[in-house]
Amino acid sequence: MKGKVIRKKKIIYLDSPKKGIWEIGFSLKVAWQLMYNMYKLHNIGPGITVFGSARLEEGSAGYEAAVEFGRRIAMMKFTTITGGGPGVMEAANKGAFEAGGISVGMNIVLPHEQHENPYLTTSVIFEHFFTRKVLLVKHSYAFVIMPGGFGTMDEFFEVLTLVQTKTVDRYPIVLFGSDFYKPIVDLMKGFAAAGTIAPIDMDLVYITDSIDDAMDYIQKFINRHYNIIPQRPRWRWLERKEPK
């Protein structure tokens, strides 16, 4: 079963400097797409974003773990947010969808035709990765990083940089798969040893192989730092606790 077809695009972004009128039109188009998708996603409620490979197939350990993450997120009454594609994204959306939760996919137009996954209650499509990443972060109160490739690493380090620089609030970031991510963790430890990051920055990431431990970490973090207010409008379900 396949979802909606996403047509391929012509590669022109950052092709070269264009005429001024073209650049203005491009900027307005980007702004419109961002505002339109912000409008469509305004009431999805607080979410947890799951990142991971589009290449993992149903039946693989990573795929099935992502299904369980989606189910657990739905049981927490949070929205499951993914990139809307196949693999880990499909799996997390599937778990949430089958558990009766809100399942959001934020897909991207690529130079080849593709399909969004069929387990979405809300779907938006972006033409550019940078606008897509804004909204993948905007509605999320936690991030689960499943095994993945270049795109997953891009998203992981983007979120980690935003948290480290305090550009966004401190949110839980879970790296799922200690063996898979050992080279990345060793690289980060090397950064700390070389003084290019602070040793305490390693605490921004929670590394585990247990879905139970990951969800417990996320739940405790949210309970400690946020007040859940279901009586308010959906866009105010979570408010940051004031320090005592």
DSSP classification of residue 243: P
pLDDT of residue 1: 56
Note the pLDDT of residue 231: 45
Residue that the structure tokens 């305490």 belong to = 200
Provide the pLDDT for residue 244: 43
Q: pTM for the full model?
A: 0.86
Buried/exposed 166-178: b ≥16 CB within 10 Å, e otherwise: eeeeebbbbbbbe
| pLDDT given for residue 179 in this prediction | 97
What's the pLDDT score for residue 215? Answer: 98
Q: What is the pLDDT tens value at each position of the chain, 244 positions in all? A: 556 655 555 655 566 677 888 889 889 999 999 999 999 998 898 999 999 999 999 999 999 999 999 999 999 999 999 999 999 999 999 999 999 999 999 998 876 656 789 999 999 999 888 999 999 999 999 999 999 999 999 999 999 999 999 998 899 999 999 999 999 999 999 999 999 999 999 999 999 999 999 999 999 999 888 876 654 454 445 555 554 4
Q: How far apart are CA 105 and CA 85, in angstroms?
A: 7
Residue 129's Cβ-count burial label (10 Å; 0-12, 13-18, 19+) is middle
pLDDT of residue 116: 85
pLDDT value at position 115? 77
Look at residue 226 in the predicted model and tell me its pLDDT.
Answer: 80
Nearest one of 242, 236, 223 to 46, comparing CA atoms:
236
- The full set of domains in the chain, from first to last, is 47-239 (3.40.50.450)
Q: What is the dihedral of CA 87, 154, 222, 147, to 10 degrees?
A: 40
Report the pLDDT value the prediction gives residue 14, as an integer from 0 to 100.
Answer: 62
- Sheet with strand 122-126: strands edge to edge: 122-126, 103-108, 79-82, 47-51, 140-145, 173-176, 205-208
